[in-house]
Amino acid sequence: MNGLEQVALSERSDFQAIAAWVKPDSSVLDLGCGDGVLLKYLRQTRNARGYGVDIDDANVLACVKNGVNVIQSDLERGLAGFDAGSFDCVILSQTLQAVRRTEEIVLDMLRVGREAIVSFPNFGRWNLRLQIALGGRMPMSPELPYQWYNTPNVHLFTIADFESFCASHGIRVLDRIVLHGGRPVHSLANVFGSLAVYRIQKS
């Protein structure tokens, strides 16, 4: 990988956790794949093969330049074009909070993939709670860097919210890692973690 790609990987601590859970020679579908750096990394380190999906023209072009197979499509329209069980793993990294049809997309991921990996910023971290409680304003952080009026995030939720969602939808959590500053958080994750990564499967 070139220097820019190495920087991109170092800035996305969830990529390392995701890669550790992708089995060698897996087929992977990366939803909201951006510039394709994660898929390129998985191909180089795990011999993974598969496709990225993104709606943005610039991201599609970047994927092509990175040698990544990409499909230009709107995630909000679902994954009807993919057969059930057609991928070993479906990935949605730091995009779940930016989609409107959250429930449908997660269930569709688990239909298309034998497993799914989801990462998202944790809105329950203590400093974000404090900004609301003391400042009375919508909080900001490195993981949630936008103002309330220009954020692409339409659903702000916590680790506890996601685990409740999984329990109520018959989704089994296979693995979980919670991070802050790139380091694992082992206790009181919903209070001290800023980024959560889950490996999930249909029960």
pTM of the full structure: 0.90
Domain extent, residue 36, equals 3-202
Alpha-helical (H) ranges within the chain are 3-11, 13-21, 37-46, 57-65, 102-112, 126-130, 159-168, 189-192
Judge whether 29 and 18 are in contact, CB under 8 Å: no
* Cα-Cα end-to-end distance for the chain: 37
- What pLDDT is stored for residue 7 in this prediction? 46
**Mean pLDDT in each 10-residue stretch from start to end of the chain (203 residues)?**
53 87 97 95 95 95 95 92 95 93 95 97 94 91 87 92 97 97 94 97 92
Number of domains composing the chain: 1
- What pLDDT is stored for residue 109 in this prediction? 97
The CATH number that applies at residue 181 is: 3.40.50.150
- What pLDDT is stored for residue 144 in this prediction? 85
Residues β-bridged to residue 93: 119
Judge whether 62 and 36 are in contact, CB under 8 Å: yes
Q: What is the C-alpha to C-alpha distance for residues 160 and 163, in angstroms, rounded to an integer?
A: 5
- What pLDDT is stored for residue 2 in this prediction? 56
